[in-house]
Amino acid sequence: MNKLFLYAISFSTLIVLLVASIALGIAVGSTYIPIDKVFSLVCRQITCIARDSPYCASLNSDPSYVIVVEIREPRTLAAVIGGAALAIAGLIYQIMFRNPIVGPYVLGVSSGASLAVGLVILAGISLGFKDVFAPYTIISAALLGAYAVTSLVLIAASIVRSVVTLLVIGLMIGYLCQAATSILMTFAEKERVHAYVMWTLGSFAGYKWSDVIISIAILVPLIISAMALSRPLNLLLLGEDYARTMGLNVRAFRLCVIGIASSLAAIVTAFAGPIGFIGVAVPHLARLLFRTSNNTVLLPATALLGAIVTTLCDIVARILFAPIELPINAVTSLFGAPLIIALLIKRRVRT
């Protein structure tokens, strides 16, 4: 059967699964709302927005409408765009470092964000905001920390030629950030330590529509930019020397790609906290399903799978022990860790 036809079927299936997971994400929770009612409420929402009707005001008195529109829609869309971003970042890192267990946070992006948030929550540094615990104080701190580490890594990337050396530098920066965070936790009050630990567990629950709009406005152009780089990423699969003979400026391209991947991870971390294993496991899942190393196929496939898997993990986190909600990191670890172990064992058996 024609490979293009198989790809078309696979992508169509993933799109259907994504739509289904979004609908399920909006429907389930502590209060179940039937799928047909979800579609009805969403249609009413779209109609009100399109016509700017006064009827919209009366909908706010409907509890189901408020749950769907104000709580579950932003959370589900955040999981979709966040999962796609983390998965794309993970795939890019694995290509750049030629390492199957590299994820978005290998260069210390997560650790830098965690340290900056630790300075805010644990040490009480307000960054000029009135409330230390306000969402945008924490988001601003996470972004500053993530981009500070990213800047250090980019400086190292402009100096160091070896990707292995760059990987080690990123890991060491991450360890230094973790050490500083541990010191802050040692001297902090118990209430602040608890608040910090809850942030590190990761969650899409706190998303509002304003957060979703900001995330989409930043992450979607970055994801499109990553997909536009599929051809030079394919060249790197054949080795840096071959890529140079084809006219690719490897050092400049490395800076560009690491900057994009780190930005994707930084934005998601800033809004949702550190979320593990999506960036490590999903690219492998895409390779298994599509059986190709062609990044023109893998990049969009990884984005779709990342969105689906993260949305489903968020649903499981909500309903597994309802009404108690699990941290999403617990669910992504349960999904990702066995997959990585199985892949490593399979690779070891083959070699």
Give the torsion sign (CA, 34, 308, 275, 89).
negative
Indicate which CATH number applies to the domain containing 25: 1.10.3470.10
Q: Please report the pLDDT score of residue 52 as a whole number.
A: 63
Q: Using 50, 70 and 90 to split pLDDT, how confident is the model at 133?
A: low
pLDDT confidence of residue 159: 83
Domain residues for 169? 3-350
Q: Residue 350: its pLDDT value, please?
A: 53
In this structure, of 4-18, 39-53, 322-336, the range with the lowest mean pLDDT score is 39-53
State how far Cα 297 lies from the chain centre. Answer: 20
% of the chain exceeding 70 in pLDDT: 92
Tens-place pLDDT, residues 227-237: 999 999 999 88
The residues near 53 (Cβ < 8 Å, ≥ 6 apart) are: 47
Domain tally, the chain: 1
Long-range contacts at 248-252 (CB < 8 A, ≥ 24 apart): 251/157, 251/158, 251/161
Region 45-65 average pLDDT: 70
Residues 6+ positions from 62 with CB-CB distance below 8 Å: 41
pLDDT tens, residue by residue, 234-249: 998 888 888 888 888 8
Per-residue pLDDT tens over the stretch 178-230: 999 999 999 888 888 988 888 888 889 888 898 899 999 999 999 999 999 99
